[in-house]
Amino acid sequence: MTTTPPIQWVPNERAGSITDSKAVAANFPDGIFEQTRAFHQQVPGYQISPLRKLSHLATMLGLGGIWVKDESVRLNLNSFKVLGGSFAIYQFIKRRLGKEEERLSFEELISEETRAELGGLTFATATDGNHGRGVAWAAEQLKCRAVIYVHKDTSPARIQAIENYGATVHIVDGTYDDAVRRAGEEADAHGWQVISDTSWEGYEDVPRWVMQGYTTMLSETQDELDSHGLVKPTHVFVQAGVGALAAAVAGFYSSRFGADRPTHVVVEPATADCLYESARIGDGAPHDVGGDLQTIMAGLACGEPSPIAWGVLWDCVDAFVSSPDYVAAKGMRVYGVPLAGDPFIVSGESGAVTLGALTFVADDARFSDLKDYLRLGPDSQVLLINSEGNTDPDYFRRVVWEGANSVPIDYRKEMSAV
């Protein structure tokens, strides 16, 4: 049996020539980063998630620094996703009230007066777990109903986490993309509002608001880096499903720094690498991938890119990487068993794939072509986003305790005798 290599990659050299992306300007207008952060700062329980530094691992890999934005502690929801879902619901309610140009307080949103004016609202979405949990939490906070659609392979733990916030969960016999279609159909039939992180023709405002909501963690990151004397990271490795998170990252840094933005690398599961495939085809259009999309990276198991996200990524991402499951599993173990002096980080499968990929790119001569292309070296300050914590405890233990999805022998690093 042929082993899938840990890194397959496609360069996007055109991104380096684009200094003023129309896609970035359309999706991240002036003032939006301040607006999203101002909204989230008033949400009950809001705290800045930590930026953790893996100094000793960076030294081992020959890098200047590795910084990890740890979203596993965001609002005790184990994921960054609530930032996008809550901001999208906020923007939708403002539009419904005819107050798009106003900044409503959280107290105004949940007031009896607002509820009476809105009537009964139901929010629907499809999810692999984290986005649905965030939407359910936000809906509960706003005293609205949530109906969440999950695909048949969603773990019971992730379903229970959604139901804990009062949402109704429906299991769809198909993939995540099938669940997206089902949620849209049911919402149309019942008059519900879809809060999705992926876009399609005629449905772009809500997923745009979701992407904008994610930028709060990047505004926080910049403040935290500034406290360490850094203006910005030199490189960002970011994971992708439909591409909303990756587009938020690329859009934020491209908007803030223009041609001087960090080098961006997008990492996807090898069995659901629609963005990688779109870049490989290279005609500027988003392309779907088929199959059952099976991967331990449940939050990234998407075969159809979000068109509005793809527009940003095509303009701003320097390389697209496709990695098999064992890369994510390695990342989980590296986070969980750190070098002496580095912080311990709990990371789920989707959260850890970028760290796993970085270790192979930086420390395996077989991928020196990508390392050279990215100009990774001792002056590099690399930002990673731990997008989720332990969202599936049973599988987390299989990986971390029992060594599931171990690195194939051909790609294991030889360790020096002590």
Among 15-29, 52-66, 104-118, the minimum mean pLDDT is found in: 104-118
Count the helix, strand and coil residues of the chain and give each as a percent rounded to the nearest 5.
50, 15, 35
The predicted pLDDT at position 375 comes to 98
Same domain, 300 and 400: yes
Same domain, 198 and 224: no
Same domain, 175 and 268: no
More confident residue, 1 or 107: 107
Residue 99 lies in a domain: no
Same domain, 192 and 221: no
Residue 1 has pLDDT above 80, yes or no: no
Closest C-alpha to 327, from 352, 293, 294 = 352
Among 186, 203, 220, residue at a domain's last position: 203
Same domain, 157 and 258: no
Write down the catalytic residue from 70, 128, 197, 325.
128
Residue 89 lies in a domain: no
The predicted pLDDT at position 418 comes to 35
Domain around 364: 8-80+211-407
Please state the domain count of the chain.
Answer: 2
The predicted pLDDT at position 415 comes to 59
The predicted pLDDT at position 209 comes to 98
The predicted pLDDT at position 2 comes to 78
Residues 6+ apart with CB under 8 A from 29: none
User: What's the rounded Cα separation, in Å, for the pair 264 and 249?
Assistant: 9
DSSP 3-state of 267: strand
Same domain, 224 and 343: yes
Same domain, 216 and 317: yes
Mean pLDDT, rounded, for 325-338 = 98
Same domain, 35 and 152: no
Residue 42 lies in a domain: yes
In percent, the amount of the chain with pLDDT more than 70 equals 99
Mean pLDDT, rounded, for 5-34 = 96
pLDDT in tens, 210-257: 999 999 999 999 999 999 999 999 999 999 999 999 999 999 999 999
DSSP 3-state of 107: helix
Inter-residue contact 197 to 300 (CB < 8 Å)? no
How many residues in the chain? 418
Closest C-alpha to 370, from 354, 356, 357 = 357
- DSSP string covering 184-243: HHHHHHHT-EE--SS-BTTB-HHHHHHHHHHTHHHHHHHHHHHHTT-SS-SEEEEE-SSS
User: What's the rounded Cα separation, in Å, for the pair 215 and 167?
Assistant: 26
Among 184, 203, 222, residue at a domain's last position: 203
User: What's the rounded Cα separation, in Å, for the pair 275 and 9?
Assistant: 11
The predicted pLDDT at position 128 comes to 87
Same domain, 164 and 68: no
- Residue 240 corresponds to which tokens in the numbers above? 């992708």
pLDDT in tens, 377-399: 999 999 999 999 999 999 999 99
pLDDT in tens, 178-195: 999 999 999 999 999 999
Residue 95 lies in a domain: no
Residues 6+ apart with CB under 8 A from 206: 88, 91, 92, 193, 194, 195, 196
User: What's the rounded Cα separation, in Å, for the pair 300 and 68?
Assistant: 19
The predicted pLDDT at position 109 comes to 87
Among 143, 171, 203, residue at a domain's last position: 203
Write down the catalytic residue from 69, 70, 81, 177.
81
Active site residue 81: yes
Residue 98 lies in a domain: no
Active site residue 413: no
More confident residue, 351 or 128: 351
pLDDT in tens, 137-171: 999 988 899 999 999 989 999 999 999 999 999 99
Same domain, 388 and 250: yes
Closest C-alpha to 72, from 339, 302, 345, 395 = 345
User: What's the rounded Cα separation, in Å, for the pair 16 and 14?
Assistant: 5
The predicted pLDDT at position 198 comes to 95
Residue 20 has pLDDT above 50, yes or no: yes
For 172-193, letters b (16+ CB in 10 Å) and e give bebbbbbbbbbbbebbeeeebb
Confidence of residue 17 (pLDDT cuts 50, 70, 90): very high
Residue 417 has pLDDT above 60, yes or no: no
More confident residue, 414 or 115: 115
pTM of the model: 0.96
Same domain, 114 and 66: no
Residue 71 lies in a domain: yes
- At 371, which CATH number? 3.40.50.1100
